[in-house]
Amino acid sequence: MEKDLLGRGSNFSALFTVFALVAFLFTTASVASAGNPINGAKVYQENCATCHGDKGQGRGGPDGWFTGGGMAYGKSNISDAVGNTLNDQNFLSQTSDDFLKQTIVKGRSNERMPGGLVSGSDVDDVVAYIRNWQKAASIPVTDDTVWANAGAGKELYLESCGECHGKNGEGIEGFSPALNDQNFLDVASDDWIRQTIQRGRTSSVMRPYERGNPLANVEMEPREIENVVAYIRTWDKNNKPIPGLNN
Ligand code: HEC
Ligand code: HEC
């Protein structure tokens, strides 16, 4: 069982993984998540793997097209249970433990991502387990407001994003996450959204939009990406509306 859990093929490598986890805990205690990733693995497999995949590869849509990772389950295993790719390096490198914790505790308000599945120290433990998938260096993200032209952003959004995320950011159940979700907008800063659009989620169908990125289908100028961010923020009901940007 533990072999499957850790995704290793032999007893030796399973043992090695356990050693590596323990070594990781001791050597990186000051930067690593406070939780216990060994318990976190158990909590994750019991509560999260059905939707997010056993290795955080995400899951869902016909042939796993939602994330590209669902294929790991085989073509016949198509399920209504879908969830974002959590082991994506672009996602992990820009996402804080607090973002993960809040999302796990509160879920998303559309309830496609149920909150309250785990509580207490299990939350820290599952965050520590997810954090172990991160190989890329962390990238700083600010809380600063992006001041840009939401009207111009709306046009870009409808051209490049609406087909997948819905005309009003409502997402498409079983395919793409909602961007107008209040719990999402509470945790995701403007800069976090901006960087997600810039680099995409390269283990999923969510392409990067930054100019010059070879994986981009559509390239945008930095200012255009900021305009899209400003438009997405107009869906945030808790935020003070940005003067002059709501058209
Ligand atoms: C081909 C479909 C597609 C297009 C086009 C697309 N996205 Fe996405 N997007 C996705 C999927 C699928 C995900 C979830 C990826 C994953 O598994 O993590 C995603 C994730 C995101 C996220 C992270 C949401 C979250 O819950 O963390 C943001 C923000 C986002 N997209 C914004 C945009 C914007 C803005 C555009 C247009 C510039 C865009 N996307 C275009 C499919 C798409
Ligand atoms: C019933 C399916 C389901 C379960 C169970 C589930 N999730 Fe989710 N999760 C989702 C969906 C779907 C989303 C994207 C929300 C949307 O579509 O708007 C998501 C989003 C997330 C996100 C945000 C990812 C991003 O790209 O911004 C995190 C983090 C997350 N889930 C972690 C977990 C953890 C940890 C567990 C277990 C404690 C869990 N989820 C259980 C379906 C699920």
Q: What is the pLDDT of residues 192-242, one digit of tens each?
A: 999 999 999 988 888 999 999 999 999 999 999 999 999 999 999 887 543
Q: Which atom of ligand 2 is nearest to the CA of 110?
A: 18
CATH fold label, 31-131: Cytochrome Bc1 Complex; Chain D, domain 2 (1.10.760)
Report whether pLDDT(3) > 50.
no
| Residue 70: Cβ within 10 Å count | 25
Q: Closest Cα to atom 27, ligand 1: which residue? A: 177
Where in the sequence of the chain do the CATH 1.10.760.10 domains occur? 31-131, 150-233
Structure confidence at residue 6 as a pLDDT band (50, 70, 90): very low
Ligand nearest to the CA of 172: 2
Q: What percent of the chain has pLDDT over 70?
A: 74
Report whether pLDDT(14) > 80.
no
CATH dotted code for 150-233: 1.10.760.10
What whole-number distance in Å separates Cα of residue 196 and Cα of residue 208?
8
Q: Closest Cα to atom 43, ligand 2: which residue? A: 113
Q: What is the pLDDT of residues 25-80, one digit of tens each?
A: 444 433 466 899 999 999 999 999 888 888 888 765 544 555 544 444 443 344 45
pTM of structure? 0.85
Most ligand 2 atoms within 8 A of CB, residue of 106, 113, 141, 202 to mutate: 113
